[in-house]
Amino acid sequence: MRSAHGDVAAVFGLIILASVIAVHAWNTTPRHWSDPDSLFYRAAVLRIEGTSKAAALAEAVHSDIARTQREYDSSKAPADRRITNPAWVDYSSRFYERRWLVPLVGAALDPLFGANGLIVASLIAYVLLGPFLFLLLRLRFRWQIAAAVTAIVLVLPLIRLWSTRPMTDMWGLALECLALAAGLIALERGRRWIALWSLVVLTLSFTRDTTLVVVAGGLTAFLFQRDRRSAAVLVTGLAAALPAPLIFGSSLREAAAYTVNDFYPPPNPSWSFVFSHLPVAIRSLVHHDLAYLQTHLVNAVAIVGGFAALLACRRVLQTRTAFVFGAAAGSLVSLLLLPNYSEFRLELVVVPFSALGLAAAVAVAEEHRPLFRARSRPARGAASEARSRRRLHPVGGSDSHRSR
């Protein structure tokens, strides 16, 4: 009963913490529309409201929110321009076709906030990240540890930064945490939870291209367990992840070729083109990420340190570790397949595993604390016994010595 009260209090506390930070960010942070991605999401909002695709893209590109991007683009050579090049806009839009969840939320908020409804949508996802990440951590750790680590994640500069941008990253992170939690619950408790798992994976597939992460967890769990329950999780996860790419197209091969070609239409979007350019792109990503981590030490300790701690303290995760580590590997593979330096925005995909690692490190530290106490007790006991002997036999001799 006390644990249930602690869970409820923790969830409410995390929601309040995130809400206060979100309101403060909304009131104090400038509106950032400096990434072309945001214009494609704004165009999707306009399409939901009834504008044709071509008109929506043109309106988003020529709106006030895109002024800074247009000015920056105009300073480039014509061949290097992006949003002011209609051919580039038309080609690039295909990679955002399946991401409809956030534009739907943005469209619902449009009457109140206009284009900035997408920023409010991102802040809503930030608030939801608290309970979703807490649920994931709570499946393996005490509520105190889960709440403390979730609070740490919420206040990280990296998380707060990207929660104020009009893009899909924060929704992708929140739903990834929920999908990982749902997958663990389905593996442990059976078919009643398969529907939840499938629904969350389906929703994630229309939000970000990160279903690879959770499906990789399901595949690894099946390879290690080979039972009906893990097979059901894998099959339903795959089935839920497929509709978005099947309906809207845009293959992984095309996306990878576009990425390694510095986000310009590739001359030949084949796997041979991808693999010939991939090593250089990965080296560039690693170089820039290391430089970023050197100047953002708090993020470095939490994200990289937490991920390393997950590997070092894996035994405290108890059961179903194959699912967690398969998904963690999937997160790294997703970054390497689409190597793009983004000031650690795309690296948000590893945050759930870093949080699990931080919680595992705290749990291991708690396990060793009683051991340190036990080792210190004999010393204290010996000192106490020596003091007792001194009281019984004070310095200067015993009674028999004084009688002599």
111-144: per-residue pLDDT in tens? 999 999 999 999 999 999 999 999 999 999 999 9
Between 66-75, 161-170, 279-288, 384-393, the lowest mean confidence (pLDDT) is in 384-393
Q: What is the pTM of this model?
A: 0.89
The answer on pLDDT for 335 being more than 80 is: yes
**Which band of pLDDT confidence, cut at 50, 70 and 90, is reported for residue 394?**
very low
Distance (Å) of CA 16 to CA 23, 131, 144, 149: 10, 11, 16, 16
Q: Percent of the chain having pLDDT more than 70?
A: 90
Distance CA 366, CA 371 (A): 9
The answer on pLDDT for 357 being more than 50 is: yes
Q: Which residues have C-beta within 8 Å of that of residue 94, sequence separation ≥ 6?
A: 249, 250, 254
pLDDT for res 401:
38
Q: What is the mean pLDDT of residues 183-198?
A: 91
The residue among 14, 51, 42, 154 whose CA lies nearest residue 105 is: 42
pLDDT for res 320:
77
pLDDT for res 155:
98
User: Is there a contact between 45 and 106 (Cβ–Cβ < 8 Å)?
Assistant: yes
Decide: residue 383, CB within 10 A, 0-12 exposed, 13-18 middle, 19+ buried: exposed
The answer on pLDDT for 379 being more than 50 is: no
Query: Looking up tokens 């197209």, which residue turns up?
Result: 249
pLDDT for res 314:
77
The answer on pLDDT for 6 being more than 60 is: yes
**Which band of pLDDT confidence, cut at 50, 70 and 90, is reported for residue 377?**
low
pLDDT for res 312:
86
Distance (Å) of CA 363 to CA 276, 309, 356: 44, 11, 10
